[in-house]
Structure 1
Amino acid sequence: MNKHWLFVIIGGVVEVVWVSGLKHADHIWEWLITLVAIITSFILLIEATKKLPIGTVYAVFTGLGTAGTVIAEMLLFGEPFRWSKTILILLLLSGVIGLKMVTAEGSSTDETEAKN
Structure 2
Amino acid sequence: MAPPSTTTVAGRDLAHPAREEIRLEQVLHALADPLRLAVVRTLAASPDELSCSVFELPVSKSTSTHHFRVLRESGVIAQVYRGTAKMNALRRADLDAIFPGLLDGVLAAAAVEAERLTTD
TM-score (norm 2): 0.30
Q: Which structure has the larger Rg over C-alpha atoms? A: 1
Could you say which structure has the higher helix fraction?
Answer: 1
Which structure's relative contact order is higher, taking Cα pairs within 8 Å and 6+ residues apart? 1
Give 1 or 2: higher strand fraction.
2
